[in-house]
Structure 1
Amino acid sequence: MRIRFRFQKIGVLRFISHHDLMRLFERAIRRADIPICMSQGFNPRPKMSFPMALALGVEGVDEVIELELSRWIAPSKLQENLRAQLPPDLVIISAEPITPKGPSTVEELVYRIEGDLSEGITREKIDEFLTGEKFQVLREKKGGRKFFNLRSSIVSIALENSALLLRLRPTKEGMARPDEVLDALGQKMGTDSTLRITRSAVHLSSPHEDN
């Protein structure tokens, strides 16, 4: 049985790393007595997957974790048991069985950015940016630096009241990051930034996903 949980990672927990999030889930799964399958080899690990890690400091209100279980348990019972073992800022919001075809892949991510946006980020500035086919950014990689076409990963950018909405998609070269998009529009994300970034949706491309 494969089960997909959607959850929220909010409040102070937005400051824990993805590695710490994995460990937190592992402990909660053990305490909830969920019969998760383990990998083979000298260092067996629980068979769980996150389609796309959430960056440090970013809230997620519709995140995904998928587990492979050794036997059937009602999704509602799994949700209840796991939720009881997690801290208040890590909330399970749904559980559904999925086709056992391996981890799902991301089709699109949606972000909402709120706070003290630069006055230079206007609809005209956004339209000008989106009309271009390329916007190269230099990324630090293991073994050197590499250029990435930021524009190819951006589905849309919109201003909604005082918030910036981003829809991003993966490409063969990688995925755009919200801070890179802000930088391209003329706003730097410093350590003293008051901007709040929330990932509001994770859309999956697996055949059993409706999004």
Structure 2
Amino acid sequence: MLALSVAVCSFVAPAGTASRGSVAAATAAAPVAPHVRMMNLFGRTEESKKQREFLSLRDAPSGSTRVQFRKPNQATTGLTLGLKFRESFGKAVYIDQILPNTEASRLEKSGKIQKGDEIVMVSATFGGEMWSAKGIGKMRLEKSIAVRQGMTIDFVVERSGEKDKKAKQKASEAAKKEADKMSRLQAQLTREVKEDKQEFSQNPFKFW
């Protein structure tokens, strides 16, 4: 397979030019800055695999967990893994039920998943890359599971409690900022009133 190297930079062709060949030639001819790291994203080396996995997981929410399920090497559904999903507002997908005596129940016992967790990423068809599952809905998630090749499938899950905790923390920080702002305004008003009183006592005719 022909290896393709991708630089973390962009090339914009002038308007009205640009066949694929000319863009490729211009890109190949362009000098690469010393600080730009070349990444062979389509290589078969361990480094290339790590780079692909890193890029695919960069949008995973902080505090989320990657969980690996064992699966038969054939078309699979959520129920085959022991998961029953529910779709919520905005096509977010959550674990609605965990069936007993399944791979999902084994992972539940080890504390890796629980009912109510949101599925935010799912394994790509091949390899260790991950696809975003945010807002894709239950049907598309099931299709992603069905086409997965290999003996494992990974999900990135976000605990509902973690989301509530983040929301409360964000609200608390906003309330603190507002309180600090009001405190500063109050202090400024008090200072201005005090200065006006002092100025009035020194020169009362100024205010007539």
TM-score, normalization: structure 1? 0.25
Of structures 1 and 2, the one scoring higher in RCO (CA 8 A, sep 6+) is 1
User: Rg bigger for which structure?
Assistant: 2
TM-score between both structures, scaled by the size of structure 2? 0.25
Q: Which has more strand, going by share of residues?
A: 1
